């Protein structure tokens, strides 16, 4: 006998449809589906905003890196290294400070 597999997107759809019927409270439905209330409300919000396309798993990759070196700074360091190949990091940092970077 094969296993009955329920895909996450289908489970989210069933959750939202049951929540829209209003027979059970959202907290009860969350217990029934084994998800937190925060997650349940997240799926309801996504459904209201995007319809069924809101159930697709979103990318988890960060959109930016707060400690990344700015492009201008990287280009300035590379230019200094090409102009003076023998200088080290202290002199490069001092030269960048003198230039206001």
Q: What pLDDT is recorded for position 2?
A: 63
pTM of the model: 0.54
CA distance 7 to 47: 17
Identify the residue with better confidence: 9 or 36. 36
Exposure b/e, 66-94, CB count within 10 A at least 16 = b: eeeeeeeeeebbeebeeeeeeeeeeeeee
Least confident of 15-24, 54-63, 66-75: 54-63
DSSP 8-class letter at 58 = P
77 pLDDT band, cuts 50/70/90, is very high
Residue 5: pLDDT above 80?
A: no
């Amino acid at each position: 006998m094969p296993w009955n597999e329920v895909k996450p997107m289908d489970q989210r759809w069933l959750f939202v449809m049951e929540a829209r019927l209003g027979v059970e409270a959202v907290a009860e439905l969350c217990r029934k589906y084994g998800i937190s209330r925060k997650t349940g409300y997240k799926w309801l919000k996504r459904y209201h905003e995007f319809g069924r396309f809101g159930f697709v798993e979103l990318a988890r990759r960060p959109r930016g890196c707060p400690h990344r070196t700015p492009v201008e700074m990287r280009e300035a360091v590379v230019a200094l290294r090409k102009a003076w190949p023998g200088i080290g990091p202290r002199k490069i940092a001092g030269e960048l400070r003198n230039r206001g970077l």
